[in-house]
Chain A
Amino acid sequence: MPEAFIYDHVRTPRGRGREDGSLHEITSVGLATQLLEALRDRNELDTALLDDVILGSAQPVGEQGGVLARAAVLNAGYAQTVGGQQVNRFCASGLDAVNLMAAQVIAGMVLGGIGGGVEAMSRTKLGYDSGPWSADPAITLSNHYAPQGIGADLIATLDGYTREDVDSYAIESQRRAAESWSEGRFGGAIVPVRDAIGEVLLDRDELIRPGTTLEQLAKLKPAFEGFGKAGFEAVIKDRYPQVEQLSYVHHGGNSSGIVDGSGMVLVGSEAFGKSAGLKPRARIRSYASIGSEPTIMLTAPAAVSEKALSIAGMSKDDIDLFELNEAFASMMLRYMRTLRIPHDKINVNGGAIAMGHPMGATGAMILGTVLDELERRDLNTALVSLCAANGLGTATIIERV
């Protein structure tokens, strides 16, 4: 069976996901196009060697619908023989796209391709892709749907994380992200985004707030109490009767930020690398996806990590660095507690609380980030995972070659 290797990866900087964000004028397909061009140009890649491009978006409607990947492939001037495919597993989409590409390579049906994702959150209204799970009354009731932030507060309630615990986590994420930027650790992957006249619009993550303090965060009001009191507390208590009262500790400062961005990973077999004249940087050891309890929603990462470890025949002690998307601070604390992972081995360059979470793109971005960090520290293995809405979760284990 062929192995799947990572040959390169790129990402855009993350722009603030609002109308005043620097990337707001760039369409989703525009973001994806610029990354495809960069991957081709910096690797001097003959795109006819690629079989497929799979891109994830958590809101694959409107300008992100219609198999955006194919539109981007053609727009970037790739060979028209390169396919395009769209995937959606909510926040895990970008990593799932890479995993799917790897799976096709391992199956021997594909030599090489690109997996990744794009999410221009400033341009696509949150909720465009509501779907039955959250909006068809019959399904939301039987599903015990509650918004993700309520799930995050539920984790804090069950595990006893205080406001200070989650805020402290957020501050450390900010500190690490700022330090990584100041040391230029993201430089190898960043593709500055250019506008229609070719000028650089953004070359750094825009949301990051270096020097954030506990006192500043303490002033922010809990974001999800209104939802809870309106009815979702009743939903929670039906599933988690051990809850007397939800403790509302999450807010904008300790939750992932809303941003625009894209990330892509070039994946192929050994033969692909030879044809393209590229050197593999890491192999994909295993991947896994699971469903977990949908109401708490955000606790899949530990279980899906165990599954990926088991598939790879590894234990968590074989992993040098962990990377988990920082959807909310509490689910990070839960993950570290469940798997007994010290904080200095996970998200060592900060995460989405500081830099933002362009939903369908994040998986590909953080996979690239941790690979760069393995190389910088000269370590070997990393486990990347994300929680996704409705209790889903995906994980991937990579190992440097």
Chain B
Amino acid sequence: MRHLNISKAADGVATLVLDNADAPMNVISLNFVGEMEEAIASLTTDENVQGVILASAKSAFMAGADLKFLVGAYDGLTKREHFEFSQRVSGLLRAIERSGKPWVAIIDGLALGGGLELALACHRRIAVDRPGTAVGLPEVNVGLLPGAGGTQRLLRIAGVKTALDLLLSGRQLGAKEALTLGIVDEIVPANEAFSSAKAWLATNPDPVKPWDVKGAQAPQKLGLLVPADAADYSLAAAMVAKKAGYNQPAAAAILSTVYEGAQLPFDKALSVESKYFAQLLSSPVARNIIRTSFISRKAAEKGARRPAGVPKSKLAKIGMLGAGMMGAGIAFVSARAGIDVILLDRDVATAEKGRQYSAKVMQKLIAAGKMAEGDAEAILARITATDEFAMLASCDLIVEAVFEDLAIKAATTEKAEAVISENTVFGSNTSTLPISELAKASKRPDQFIGIHFFSPVDRMSLVEVIMGRQTSAETLAKALDFVAQIGKTPIVVNDSRGFYTSRVFQTLIHEGAAMLGEGVPPAVIENAAKAVGMPVGPLALLDELSFDLPLAIVDQAIEQEGARYLVPAGVNTLRRMRDELGRGGRKAGGGFYDYDEDGKKRLWQGIAEHFPAKDDWNIDDLKARYLYAQSVETVRCLEEGVLQTAEDADLGSVYGWGFPIWTGGTISYIDTVGVPAFEREADRLAQLYGPRFAPPKLLRDMSRKGIQFYVAAEQQDHVEEDHAELAQS
């Protein structure tokens, strides 16, 4: 066996050690399942084996299922086959449980998802006392549910309420909490785990689970005859509506699995669990979430877009120009990653204020027990606040985050380049100014690149790396090495107005403003956006942003492009609000909302007078407009070469501005709808609401050719050629 080691001792105790031969983590894959089936059968039938200790040779017990396999399963398998797969793994665990021999799991490190399910099937769980030991069933976060008995064992061990809490939040528990909830049976020091397991086995424990005892009753066999249980489910459903909304089927399926399973005998309950699992695995939502948030994201972090052949670099010191909100944030995440930071601003006091931002953030982390004080001091010591450009001399990379103005940025670039070495890369954290324009101020435009962070920097994981016309592959590699070093997720785009993220984000906020101009009531505008899964409504976003910014972008574009420029849909509303009604956003004293002293907001009552509401709105159209406006603009970015991959598009939309994860991202959404169906709907919306919805040629060609953006792995090469061909035609 490649992934398992079995040893049998003379005292009748067998030890089964999980040791994935292909990866640093144990995962549930088809190979693993096959070997486990064999191992369980042999241990069960071997008369010399009295009990089994299950442990891991890795730093974690087991991380869960092989997510790549699950994504492949969406395209490759039928619903029936998904059900059978779940039943096969479930049956494997059942075979442990009903082997007639006691099994002990030693959880040393993480036991998540399928890993915890495996441990739950054992007759005793021993947790090793170390900080890394944690258990959890995080499947809900990838649009799935535990499909190997996890929902049913957990509710029978810890009770329905605890099970729902853990299953619906997906949160991890430390060993202590797991012990309190009965999920593990004891906590021991690392060196006592095996002796403790053996000692328990030596007591000849009864290997029959409570639910397998003759005459055992399902925990909620009375079902809805118990009013308190009925009330709990009613409220739990409302909490699911609040937290997950109506677009993510996993939470609802978990609720039903628990509700129905708690009334059924165990094996029947396992079968129902497998059916709901199959339902989820067959829906595109789980596929979308896993593909974007795990597969594409991991690939991006591992350098999917990094040019091959450039040696990897490690940065020791960066120069951060500008200690405002963005500069201070970038300085913090860099210092936290072990990089020395020269934080420069116009005077030392301003620079120091930026440096103190790190101290503030870390104080909160310390208070929450998430950081040690010593670490915080070391991090803060890595940041040097200064107003002297000479200090930049030995930096490996410069990140500029000064005021968004071409002239100011040009002057800063010149001052920095006067001191830095010839091969230092210069990155600009601009969100709107074209990189190629900024690069004109540089002596070395091939070493000039955009490194666009999102606010707040320490919480937003995305970095949009922007190639100027002359930016070299080496420069890109270095920028990506920096992003990797600070643990962020990069996408790589080409220069254009607003690059990718800001450009497509504009379509979202303008769509909301346009709706107001059409007479859609403001609450409907906001709720429609939230109904598709946007975290914040566009009017609230605009208020926070202040209307000056999007209007300045428009004004500049009109100046540069004249009649060729398609003026965004919400411009008239924004101008009226700001210029005629004196409501330019929150900083201007209020915009679409009024704000009280505590920062609480209510929609501005004056909207009804100045933008009289009509009652002909159609919520389904409004919801579609948000998603389509953004997805169509994203296709334009692909068509124009601003974007080069569907993965970048999806990652950028989900992690840059909160495009709903259930869609997988702006491009994944199109595949989910189906390219031809998306084209038809976009045509319909264009007819009704304007040319911004008109399907770009790339989309029409794909529809005609019957291809989509993502394909199953084996067809990948062929279709990439198709894309290249289409983009050129």
Contact = CB atoms under 8 A, between A and B. Distances in A.
Interface of A: 61, 125-128, 130-132, 134-138, 140-141, 145-146, 227, 230-235, 237-238, 241-245
A138 B243 CA distance: 16
A141 B234 CA distance: 9
Contacts of A241: 523-524, 527-528, 531, 619
Interface string B217-260: 00000001101111101111111111101100000100110010
B303 interface: no
A74 B521 CA distance: 60
Contacts of B245: 234, 238
A233 B241 CA distance: 9
A257 B229 CA distance: 24
Interface residues of B, number: 36
Contacts of A130: 224, 227, 230-231, 234
Interface in B524-578: 524, 526-528, 530-531
B602 A244 contact: yes
Given A130-B224, A146-B238, 6 more contacts: A135-B234, A137-B236, A138-B252, A234-B238, A241-B528, A243-B527
Contacts of A146: 238
Contact of A237 (B231, B237, B259, B527): B527
Contact of A127 (B231, B240, B243, B602): B231
Contacts of A134: 230, 234
B602 A137 contact: no
Nearest to B619: A241
Contacts of B524: 241-242
A230 B603 contact: no
25 contacts: A61-B225, A127-B228, A130-B231, A130-B234, A135-B224, A135-B229, A135-B231, A137-B259, A138-B256, A140-B238, A141-B252, A141-B255, A227-B235, A230-B235, A230-B238, A230-B242, A231-B242, A231-B243, A235-B241, A238-B527, A241-B523, A241-B531, A241-B619, A243-B527, A244-B603
Nearest to A245: B602
A343 B681 CA distance: 50
The 4 closest A-B pairs by CB, nearest first: A231-B238, A127-B227, A130-B230, A241-B527
Interface string B64-91: 0000000000000000000000000000
Given A234-B245, A244-B523, A127 B230 contact: yes
B255 A238 contact: no
Name which of A126, A227, A241 has the most chain B CB atoms within 10 A of its CB: A241
A137 B231 contact: no
A125 B531 CA distance: 36
A238 B245 CA distance: 9
Given A127-B231, A137-B255, A235 B238 contact: yes
Nearest to A130: B230
Given A141-B252, A242-B521, A242-B524, A232 B246 contact: no
A261 B602 CA distance: 45
A234 B241 CA distance: 6
Contacts of B603: 244
B617 to A, nearest CB: 9
Interface in B185-228: 224-225, 227-228
Contacts of B246: 141, 238
B721 to A, nearest CB: 44
Contact of B242 (A126, A136, A233, A242): A233
B97 to A, nearest CB: 27
Given A128-B227, A137-B256, A141-B252, A243 B523 contact: yes
B233 A136 contact: yes
Nearest to B256: A138
A237 B238 CA distance: 12
Given A135-B224, A241-B619, A140 B234 contact: yes
B249 to A, nearest CB: 10
Contacts of A242: 521, 523-524, 527
B48 to A, nearest CB: 48
A188 to B, nearest CB: 37
A137 B237 contact: yes
Contacts of A145: 234, 237-238
Contacts of B230: 127, 130, 134-135
Interface in B317-359: none
Contacts of B225: 61, 128
A151 B233 CA distance: 19
B603 to A, nearest CB: 5
Contact of B235 (A141, A231, A244): A231
Given A138-B256, A244-B523, A125 B239 contact: no
Nearest to B240: A141
A5 B677 CA distance: 60
Nearest to A128: B227
Contacts of A128: 225, 227
Contacts of B602: 244-245
Contacts of B237: 137, 140-141, 145, 231
Contacts of A61: 225
Contacts of A126: 227
B224 A141 contact: no
A243 B233 CA distance: 25
A144 B242 CA distance: 12
B179 to A, nearest CB: 29
Contacts of A245: 602
A135 B228 CA distance: 10
A88 to B, nearest CB: 15
Contacts of A234: 238, 241-242, 245
A140 to B, nearest CB: 4
Contacts of A141: 237, 240-241, 246, 252, 255
A235 B235 CA distance: 11
A126 B234 CA distance: 14
A47 B234 CA distance: 45
Contacts of B243: 231
B523 A232 contact: no
A316 B63 CA distance: 68
Contacts of B241: 141, 231-232, 234-235, 238
A135 B255 CA distance: 11
Nearest to B525: A241
Contacts of B231: 127, 130, 135
Contacts of A136: 224, 233, 256, 259
B519 to A, nearest CB: 13
Nearest to A240: B527
B667 to A, nearest CB: 26
Interface string B648-683: 000000000000000000000000000000000000
A21 to B, nearest CB: 19
A227 to B, nearest CB: 8
A230 B242 CA distance: 8
B235 A137 contact: no
B264 to A, nearest CB: 14
A137 B255 CA distance: 6
Nearest to A143: B237
A164 B226 CA distance: 38
Contacts of B252: 137-138, 141
A302 to B, nearest CB: 18
A138 B260 CA distance: 10
A114 B238 CA distance: 41
B84 to A, nearest CB: 23
B356 to A, nearest CB: 37
A235 B243 CA distance: 11
B497 to A, nearest CB: 32
Contacts of B259: 136-138
A230 B237 CA distance: 10
A243 B527 CA distance: 8
Contacts of B526: 244
Interface string B430-464: 00000000000000000000000000000000000
B238 A135 contact: no
A140 B225 CA distance: 17
